[in-house]
Chains A and B, each alone.
Chain A
Amino acid sequence: MDKRKPAAIVPFGGGADVERRQAFHSALPTPERLARAVLADLERDLCDLLATDPDLADVTRAELLDWVAVDVADAVAELAEHGWNEP
């Protein structure tokens, strides 16, 4: 909490909470930027996988797309559920 604004003088503490939430929101990347970062890294890893992984030799584009779509959705869902609060 911002030490310059003790909770006692903020009515119901609501103002400070809204400010904190807004500050948090603006500190995070936009969805577009986050998606771009993930996709860039993912593309590099998938190229590497396809070029080096012996078990992926005969995987088709459609098959890989199905798998990756499921895995990306699961990874995002897991991050959303726990945040970075580690169990």
Chain B
Amino acid sequence: MTGARVAARQSVRRAVLNRVRGTVLAHQRIARAQREHPVLPPDLLEEWRDLLERTRPLLAADLPDLLSDVFATTPVDPTPGGARRRRNGKQLLPSDLKRLLAYSARYVCHRTDREDVGTCRAPLTAAADRRPVAVRAAIGVRGRPDGGRYGVVFARYGNRVWEVRAADTVLCEVEALSTEEAVGWYVREDLAAALGT
């Protein structure tokens, strides 16, 4: 895959995962069930899996028509809005950030001034002088506003465990998180554009 293809692929994956998880968990009936059963016991988890198992083929069956509609209604523009291309596949543009901000609490963000880490060209390492050894971040896509020019965003509920500490601070007890694990990165100006500030 070329660089642009990789960026396109990652952009689509990010948007689809964000949307499917977000819409399912925010569905009115499901949100209510979550409040009633904050932790699913095995028999209810089975019921939940049955619902998703029966939903999956319905989604798959409708995707071809959906994609045709999307292509039919969206004007083809080789450089949409004259927009710039991503520096790499992990870069989050304002339009990406808007989508992630809709489900902000499902993400954590580490802000930094280091360009290599902040643009997902180098892994995010734990601070050497702090205990426990962990990568620190804040809940939400914005991260700590005073934290730095770049924001590196990770899924809060994924393969890594982010423990909530004081206020909105979370930490992941690892020595480093690879660039592959990040949902993406942004620069402060693009976050401001996404927030309309």
Interface residues of chain A, those whose CB is within 8 Å of chain B, are 17, 20-21, 24-25, 27-29, 31-32, 34-35, 37-39, 41-43, 45-59, 61, 64-65, 67-69, 71-76, 78-80, 82-87
Closest residue of B by beta carbon distance from A21: B43
Task: Apart from A27-B36, A43-B70, A72-B20, list 18 A-B contacts with CB within 8 A.
Answer: A24-B44, A29-B27, A34-B55, A39-B66, A41-B22, A45-B15, A48-B95, A53-B11, A53-B95, A55-B7, A56-B8, A59-B12, A71-B17, A72-B60, A76-B20, A79-B21, A80-B48, A82-B157
Asked whether B47 lies within 8 Å of A78 as measured between CB atoms, the reply is: no
CB of B24 within 8 Å of the partner chain: yes
A31: chain B residues at CB < 8 Å are: 51, 54-55, 58
CB of B196 within 8 Å of the partner chain: no
With a 10 A CB-CB cut-off, give which of B25, B32, B52 has the most chain A CB atoms. Answer: B52
Q: Contacts A55-B85, A71-B12: A86 and B157 contacting too (C-beta < 8 A)?
A: yes
Q: Contacts A25-B47, A53-B95, A57-B78: A35 and B62 contacting too (C-beta < 8 A)?
A: yes
CA distance A75 to B48 in the complex (A): 14
Q: Contacts A28-B30, A38-B24, A85-B39: A49 and B15 contacting too (C-beta < 8 A)?
A: yes
CA distance A33 to B185 in the complex (A): 34
Asked whether B80 lies within 8 Å of A57 as measured between CB atoms, the reply is: yes
Contacts between the two chains (Cβ within 8 Å), count: 192
Instruction: Give the interface SS of chain B, mostly helix, strand, loop or mixed.
Output: helix
A/B interface sample: 7 pairs, CB < 8 A: A28-B29, A49-B11, A49-B95, A52-B95, A53-B83, A67-B9, A76-B55
Q: Contacts A42-B19, A51-B75, A76-B52: A83 and B45 contacting too (C-beta < 8 A)?
A: yes
Closest residue of A by beta carbon distance from B4: A55
The residue from B20, B39, B49, B69 contacting A75, defined by CB atoms under 8 A apart: B20
